[in-house]
Amino acid sequence: MGAPGVKGKKVTALPNDGLTDLIRSVVSENQDFKEPFYVLDLGVVTSLMEKWTRSLPTVRPFYAVKCNPNPAFLGAMAALGSGFDCASRAEIEAVLSLGVSPDRIVYANPCKAESHIKYAAAIGSKPRMKGARKARLDRSMALSRRKWRRSFKPPNVQTAKLTVSGVSFHVGSATTNFGAYRAAIAAAKTIFEAASRLGLPKMHVLNIGGGFTAAPHFNEASNVVKSALRQYFKNEPGLTVISEPGRFFAESAFTLATNIIGKRVRGELREYWINDGIYGSMNCILTNHATVNAPFGCILYGGNPARRGMRTYRSTVFGPTCDSLDTVLTGHQLPELQGDTAGRSHGADTNKSLQIIMGAPGMKGKKVTALPKDGLTDLIRSVVSENQDFKEPFYVLNLGVVKSLMEKWTRSLPTVRPFYAVKCNTDPAFLGAMAALGSGFDCASRAEIEAVLSLGVSPDRVIFANPCKIESHIKYAAAVGVKLTTFDSMGEIEKIQEFAPLLQAAQSAKLTVSGVSFHVGSATTNFGAYPSAVAAAKTVFDAASELGLPKMRVLNIGGGFTAGPNFDHAANASAFPLATNIFGKRVRGALREYWINDGVYGSMNCILSNVTLNAPFACTSNHGNPTCQGMKTYRSTVCGPTCATTDTVLRCHQLPGLQVNDRLVFPNMGAYTASVGSNFNGFKAARTTHLVYSNPMINE
C-alpha cells in the first residue's frame, strides 16, 4: 500500500464475488459518471507473483512495461520485487519515477533509437543485446508472428567493444507450444558454448523472454522451462535467469467496466453500443487478433445485478466510434440489458484565398513556407539540417492541396455542401484551413465538437453524427447550439418498411426530422450504391409527406468518395506527407531491413484495417542525389519502432540502399492516421511541424 503509484490512493477490500457490488457502488455514488473505468485488484497481482515464485523460483521476472504501464500497477510490481523490461525512454522514465533503481531495468527493443540509448546509458540502465540474426520458430507456436533472437555474432561484438552478458530469446506472445521453450533454451546453450570456445568473457545471463499466461497452461509451461534449464544449464555456476512476462501479471488483474450507451432490437438479435472499443482499451482485437473474455452484465437497480439465470439473446456489441471495424463481440449470448439509443451524419461552402486561410484560427501566427514543385525533398532536408538532433517523425501540411481540393469539390458537386468528417484528421491547422474555406464539420463526439468550436466555427456549421451517441455528449451539443444530428437506430436503410415507424417515433418524441442521411462505405468503388441510396432516401421523403410531417429539407449523401471528389479521405490524405527517420538497419544477403520511428501503433494504424500505404520515397544526405533516383534497389522490409511483431510497415518492397538517419517519406498520410494512433511502448505520435503552400495540379 505504501508503494509509489499506490500510496495515497483509496484501496477497497473486495469480498469474493464482490466486483459487481463494487461497480454498482462506484456508479451509484455519482449518477453522472458514465465513463469506462478499470478496477485493479492488487490481491490478484500479489497472488500471481507468489505463483511465479513457486513455479519458477530460479527465474527473476522483469515485467514488460508495454503490456500495461498503469502507475499503480507498476508501483505494486516494484514493491513485490519485480524488475522491468522497458522498450523506450518514456517507459524507462515511468519506472524510474517510482523510485526503482536502474539496475532493475533491462532496456529491451529489437532496434533502439539513438537518443534513447544515450539516455539509458546516462541513467545506468542495462541494455539487452538482441541479435543481428533471428531464428524463426513454427508459426503455430504463438499468437502472432513467431521469432526468437540469438545474440550477436561474437566477432561483431568484439569489434564493437561490447561485453556480451548472455543470451535472450522470445518464443512469442501467449504461446501454447511449450516445446518452443525447450528448443530455445537448447539453442541458447549452444551459443554459451560457442562464446566459450572463442575465448569471450564468461556469459552469465539467460533471458527466456515472455509468452507466459496466467491460465492453467502456466504450470505446464513452467515445468518445461525448469526441466530444460536442468538439462542444459545444470553446470553453469553463477548463471542468472530472467524473464520478461507481461500478460501473465497484467491480464487478470484488471477488470474493465463500460457503460451501455445505446441499444437496438432486431427480432431475437440485441445490438448494444458501449463507450469503449477497439480504438480504446480493446485495441488488442485489431492488433493481436485477440478474443475478449466473456463480459458479464451489471445493472444498477434490482435484485439480480449480474442477471444470473436469466434468458440470454444473441448479441452484438459495438464500440463508440463511427468506424464499422469497431465491433467488440459478435453473436455472443447476453441477458437483456438496457441503454440509450442514438444516431448518424450531414454536409459547406466554397473557395477562399490563401490570405484568408492564413488568418484562420489554428493557423494564425504559424510560419507557412512557399513550396516549389517537387520541393518537398529539399524542405525535409533543410528541416533536418537545421537541427541535427531532430529525429522525430513529422507531418508537412500542404495548404495549397487543401485549397485545390476544395475548388475541385465545388466544381464537381456544386450543389453538395461538404461537412468534413473530423475523425479523419483532427490537426488544428488543417481544421482551421477547412473552416476558412467554408466547410461544415461532421463531429462524432463532444471532444470533436469542442475542437471545431474553439476555432470560432458557429454551431450551425456542425452536425453531430454518430450511430450511437453518449447522453452527456447529446446534452452538450444541444447546450452549445448544435441543431443538426443524425439517427439510424431502426435498421438498415434498404428496409424501407422500417422508415414509417422510425418517423412516427421521431414525431412522438417531438423531434423535428430535417432530412435523410446515408453512408455507402469508406472508399467505395461501387458507385451504383449512390443512386440506390438516393432513391431509397426519396422513398423516406415520400413517407414523411404521407405522415403529414413537416417538409424535410436535408439530404446527406455521406462520405466514401474515392480519388475523384473524395472529401473525407483524399482531401487531407494528399495534403499530408509523413517524414520518418531510419534509426536502425540490418543486412541479410540481398534483403535490407530498416526500422523507422513511426509505425502501425502510430500514424500507420490504418495497416491493421488492411489499408496499403503509398510507396515511400527516400530523402538522404546525398547532396548529388538526395532521392536516390536511378540507384540500385533491394528487397526491403520496413518495421516500426515498437517491440510488437505486428509493427511491420512494408514487406518485400524495393528500396535503394539507405543508411541510419536517412528519411523515408510517405505521401498521402493525412486520412485516418494520426487521429487513430497511440503512444504504445512510449513512442509518441507524429505532429504536424511544417505548413507549406504550393499550387498543385489536382487530377480531374
DSSP 574-634: TT--EEEEEEEEEEETTEEEEEES--TTTTTGGGGGTPPPPPPEEE-S-TT-TT-TT--EE
Q: What per-residue confidence (pLDDT) applies to 120?
A: 87
Structural contact between residues 53 and 21, judged by C-beta atoms closer than 8 angstroms: no
Structural contact between residues 406 and 350, judged by C-beta atoms closer than 8 angstroms: yes
pLDDT band at 151 (very low <50, low <70, confident <90, very high): very low
> Rounded to two decimals, what is the model's pTM?
0.74
Helix/strand/coil for 496: helix
In the Cβ-directed half-sphere of 301, how many Cα atoms lie within 13 Å? 2
Query: Which carries the bigger pLDDT value, residue 675 or residue 64?
Result: 64
In Å, what is the CA distance from 99 to each residue of 60, 61, 87?
19, 18, 18
Output 552-555 pairs: Cβ under 8 A, ≥24 positions apart: 552/513, 552/514, 552/515, 552/516, 553/514, 553/515, 554/346, 554/484, 554/514, 554/515, 554/516, 554/517, 555/515, 555/516
Q: What per-residue confidence (pLDDT) applies to 145?
A: 32
Q: What per-residue confidence (pLDDT) applies to 355?
A: 52
- Among 271-280, 416-425, 561-570, which is the least confidently predicted range? 561-570
pLDDT band at 49 (very low <50, low <70, confident <90, very high): very high
Structural contact between residues 634 and 618, judged by C-beta atoms closer than 8 angstroms: no
Q: What per-residue confidence (pLDDT) applies to 593?
A: 92
pLDDT band at 191 (very low <50, low <70, confident <90, very high): very high
pLDDT band at 498 (very low <50, low <70, confident <90, very high): very low
pLDDT at 162 over 60: yes
Q: Could you give the residue numbers annotated as active site?
A: 643
User: Which range, 106-110, 214-218, 404-408, is most confident?
Assistant: 106-110
Domains and CATH numbers, the chain: 18-120+160-251 (3.20.20.10), 261-294+309-334 (2.40.37.10), 353-366+401-556 (3.20.20.10), 578-666 (2.40.37.10)
- What is the Cα–Cα distance from 393 to 261, expressed in whole angstroms? 37
The conformational region for residue 685 under phi > 0 = left, psi -120 to 50 = alpha, else beta, is beta
Average pLDDT of the chain is 78
Q: What per-residue confidence (pLDDT) applies to 247?
A: 87
pLDDT at 700 over 60: no
Please write the tens of the pLDDT for every residue from 546-599. 888 888 888 888 877 654 444 444 444 467 888 898 988 999 899 999 999 898
Helix/strand/coil for 222: helix
In Å, what is the CA distance from 153 to each residue of 135, 159, 232, 397?
13, 10, 21, 44
DSSP state of 528: T
Please write the tens of the pLDDT for every residue from 227-245. 999 999 988 889 999 999 9
pLDDT at 339 over 60: no
Helix/strand/coil for 63: strand
Please write the tens of the pLDDT for every residue from 79-99. 999 999 999 999 999 999 999
